[in-house]
Amino acid sequence: AQKVTQAQTEISVVEKEDVTLDCVYETRDTTYYLFWYKQPPSGELVFLIRRNSFDEQNEISGRYSWNFQKSTSSFNFTITASQVVDSAVYFCALSIWDGAGNNRKLIWGLGTSLAVNP
């Protein structure tokens, strides 16, 4: 099976708390990309990060950090010192080849709704 699992449906934290959003994936592709997107109430998807399957280095961008563990097929996302503006739905996605091997497409997790309360 090729899928993305975001087990946390909803998370609620108080401002300034750290929060980790989990993402576990399954794929038979040897080369793939993993993505995180943020979707605020406006609906527009905001790109956060893309990770190549060959690059297991963790990444930090300001208050955001990502932990890619190929051994456990996980690509978790941590927000440090959360802020109210971080409230949104966060999606993890995996790019795979389609059945014919002609195109890549994204497999999406169900999303985690994060509420950061003041």
Q: Which of 15, 64, 14, 59 has its CA nearest to residue 38?
A: 64
CB of 42 to another protein, least distance (A): 8
Among the listed ranges 14-22, 33-41, 57-65, 70-78, the one in contact with another protein (CB under 8 A) is 33-41
> Cβ neighbours of residue 88 under 8 Å, at least 6 residues apart?
38, 39, 40, 41, 46, 113, 114
Tell whether residue 106 is a contact of another protein (CB under 8 A).
yes
Select 14 or 40, whichever has its Cβ closest to another protein. 40
Residue 20, both tokens = 């980790």
Angstrom distance (rounded) from CA 99 to CA 88: 32
Q: Figure out which of the listed residues 23, 27, 111, 116 binds another protein, where binding follows CB under 8 A.
A: 111
Nearer to another protein, 63 or 105 (CB): 105
Stretch that binds another protein, among 12-20, 41-49, 59-67, 80-88 (CB under 8 A): 41-49
Six-digit token string for 115? 């509420």
Q: Which amino acid is at 109?
A: G
Contact set for another protein, span 66-95 (CB under 8 A)? 91, 95
**Rounded to an integer, what distance in angstroms lies between the CA atom of residue 43 and that of residue 63?**
22
* Site residues, another protein (CB under 8 A): 33, 35, 37, 42-45, 47, 50, 91, 95, 98, 100, 102-106, 108-111, 113
